[in-house]
A and B are shown apart, each in its own frame.
Chain A
Amino acid sequence: AQTVTQSQPEMSVQEAETVTLSCTYDTSESDYYLFWYKQPPSRQMILVIRQEAYKQQNATENRFSVNFQKAAKSFSLKISDSQLGDAAMYFCAYRSAQTSGSRLTFGEGTQLTVNP
């Protein structure tokens, strides 16, 4: 079974600074997808960024980028120019590519605080 681990329960960053959230995972599969979701106090899970394991290039979405290290099974999220609206719980998630529509396996989450 796949597992996802987020070793940082809480992180904080100053507004306009950069912060990196860590995620490691365990799998025996070679083809899969990785995601970062953001969950503000409203509890809505919002997709931040997605990475396909077969792609060597790291995904980027505006101020959000990932450092995907497949051999190390590491998938960190970098938030540049942090904004107050980035404050939320961030979840790393894994999904197998073997079965279409298969379940997401989530980590425990990292609570990000952005200080003005």
Chain B
Amino acid sequence: EAGVVQSPRYKIIEKKQPVAFWCNPISGHNTLYWYLQNLGQGPELLIRYENEEAVDDSQLPKDRFSAERLKGVDSTLKIQPAELGDSAVYLCASSQYTNQETQYFGPGTRLLVL
């Protein structure tokens, strides 16, 4: 079974430029998460989707960050415009919609804003 797929793996951009990250969850997983991981810290949730619905986006900086999950499968996280402080690893995870769910993570996208 394929795991969570993310692309790109690495991205270098200049500040004020837009950037987008893509995630394809494990087949059959209804819940999708985007986490932000700063250097030397544990991941923190940005947004959680249950199917197409964003059910927890309280930590998403909505002035510059946006996300979508069309058709309840793939998801895209966008930053516009990017700032120097956005340099981090962006992790996508997915889980089945059950009470026994475990979250499985993708390899992450490492963003460097210059």
- B-contacting residues of A (Cβ < 8 Å)? 4, 35, 37, 42-47, 50, 91, 93, 95, 97, 100-104, 106-109
Q: Does B42 lie within 8 Å of A91, measured CB to CB?
A: yes
Residues on A with beta carbons closer than 8 Å to the beta carbon of B33 = 103
Chain A residue nearest in CB terms to B108: A43
Residues on A with beta carbons closer than 8 Å to the beta carbon of B31 = 100-101
Say yes or no: A44-B99 contact (C-beta < 8 A), given A101-B50, A103-B45.
no
Judged by a CB distance under 8 angstroms, whether B18 is at the interface is: no
Chain B residue nearest in CB terms to A104: B103
Chain B residue nearest in CB terms to A6: B42
**Cβ contacts B54-85/A at 8 Å (1 or 0 each):** 01100000000000000000000000000000
Interface of B is mostly: strand
Q: How far is the CB of B17 from chain A (nearest CB, A)?
A: 23
Q: Does B48 lie within 8 Å of A103, measured CB to CB?
A: yes
Task: Name 7 extra pairs, CB < 8 A, besides A101-B55, A108-B40, A108-B41.
Answer: A42-B107, A43-B108, A45-B108, A101-B31, A101-B95, A103-B45, A106-B44
Complex CA distance for A20 and B32, rounded to whole angstroms = 32
Chain B residue nearest in CB terms to A47: B102
Q: Does A101 lie within 8 Å of B43, measured CB to CB?
A: no
Q: How far is the CB of B9 from chain A (nearest CB, A)?
A: 9
Complex CA distance for A42 and B108, rounded to whole angstroms = 9
The residue from A95, A97, A100, A104 contacting B43, defined by CB atoms under 8 A apart: A104
Q: How far is the CB of B30 from chain A (nearest CB, A)?
A: 8
Judged by a CB distance under 8 angstroms, whether B101 is at the interface is: yes
Complex CA distance for A68 and B35, rounded to whole angstroms = 26
Q: How far is the CB of B46 from chain A (nearest CB, A)?
A: 10
Complex CA distance for A37 and B43, rounded to whole angstroms = 11
Residues on A with beta carbons closer than 8 Å to the beta carbon of B21 = none
Complex CA distance for A105 and B89, rounded to whole angstroms = 17
Complex CA distance for A104 and B50, rounded to whole angstroms = 15
Chain B residue nearest in CB terms to A95: B103
Say yes or no: A44-B107 contact (C-beta < 8 A), given A101-B95, A103-B33, A103-B48.
yes
